[in-house]
Structures are given as structure tokens and as C-alpha cells.
Amino acid sequence: MPRDESPPPPPPVPPNSPRVLAALRNFPDFPIPGIDFIDILPIFQDPQTFEALLQVLTNEISETLGFTPDVIVGLDARGFLFGPTLALRLGCSFVAVRKKGKVPGPTVTAAYEKEYGTDYFQMQSDAIKPGQKVLVVDDIIATGGSAAAAGALVTQLGGTTVGYLFLIEIPFLKGRDKLGNLPIIKLLDAA
């Protein structure tokens, strides 16, 4: 960007999100030096803040998708913190995506790359019905590998991933590039 141009303005803050954003805590150099960890857990310590989060997310889903998904898929583990409650609020099902070996019964599996090797997600093989519209949710999108793997599980079972929802995005890691042209809902960017 030329020096005399100012950066683009930040996106508008959704209603109720100032309370949610104020609850987040930043821990520099955690878990390793150079990483700034954003802690979402304080959101769940205060019922009014959690309610504000749910209002923000349901509004964003409605405005972005224009319809209610059939299923919310939450990623292990922090997608479990708000995914089931969000599904209940929307009147849709919740399905958990777990690390390999944590899901009982017949499963489908998808691999994804992490900074130190390959990991695997699993979902019960009867969790998604063919044709169901699925929104994948997690707390953060970094490289996009885990979210893409969850989308692959949905596809294996005949469902249609209609979008992704994250509380936080780390834009410089370009995780959204792995998610195709689907809608991505997020509350804030992290450095």
C-alpha cells in the first residue's frame, strides 16, 4: 500500500459485541514465545456476556446466510463451548467433531495438517443426513486445516457445508483460503 493511503476502515462492530470483545483476554507469548493467545473463556463466566455472544452470532448467521442451517457442527474442543447452545437457540441439531479415537461407533475420518504433523478428526457416520445444510463453528481460524477437515466430514456424509463461523480469525495465516468461497462469519481479527 502506498504511504499516502490510509488503511481501510475496520468492519462495523455488530450490535452487542462490545461487551463480548471486552471479555476477551490476551496472553502474550502463550503457549510459546511469539504467539498472542486470546482467551475466550471469560465470555462463559458471565451469563449476560454469553447471552450477548449468542445474540451477536444468531444475528450474524441470519444476515449472512439468510436461513437457519439444519445442523451446527462444533470442532473439538472450544467449538463445544458455544456450538450446542447456538444450535438450541437456532432450533437445529448439534454434531460434535472429535479428535481420532474419541468417537464411539462407526465413524468417518478426515486428516488435516498441523504445524508439527498430521492430525485426524472423526464424526459418527450417521450424524449428518444427506442434503442437510451444515454450519461449521469453532473459536478460531488460523491455518484453516481443522475447519476444512470438518467440512470434508460433512461432505463424506452427504451434507452440504453452507458456511463457517469463528469468534476470531488470524488473517495473516490465510486459513480462509482452504474454505473455498463459502461465507465466513467472524467477530474479530487477531494479529
pLDDT at 2: 46
Tell me whether residue 115 is in a domain.
Answer: yes
Cell numbers given for 86:
447456538
Please, which pLDDT band fits residue 14 given cuts at 50, 70 and 90? low
The rounded distance, in Å, linking the Cα atoms of 134 and 75 is 13
* pLDDT at residue 170, as a whole number: 92
Could you tell me what percent of the chain has a pLDDT over 70?
A: 91
Give the pLDDT of residue 119.
96
Residue 177 has pLDDT above 70, yes or no: yes
Q: Can you tell me the mean pLDDT for 82-108? A: 98
Which pLDDT score is estimated for 18?
85
Indicate whether 25 belongs to any domain: no
12 falls within a domain: no
- The pLDDT mean for the chain works out to 91
Whether 111 is in a domain gets the answer: yes
Q: With bands split at pLDDT 50, 70 and 90, how would you rate the model's confidence at 11?
A: very low
What is the number of structural domains in the chain? 1
Q: Are 56 and 187 in contact (CB under 8 A)?
A: yes
Judged against a pLDDT cut of 90, whether residue 185 lies above it is answered with yes
30-52: average pLDDT: 92
Residue 100 is classified by DSSP as T
The reply to whether 83 falls in a domain is yes
Range of the domain at 116: 67-189
In a domain, 76, yes or no: yes
Residues 130-142: pLDDT tens digits? 999 999 999 999 9
Contacts of 148 (CB under 8 A, 6+ apart): 112, 178, 179
Is 33 part of any domain? no
Task: Say if residue 68 is exposed, middle or buried (CB neighbours under 10 Å; 0-12, 13-18, 19+).
Answer: middle
CATH assignment of the domain containing 126: 3.40.50.2020
Which stretches within the chain are classed as H helix?
17-23, 47-65, 79-90, 145-156
Asked if residue 169 belongs to a domain, the reply is yes
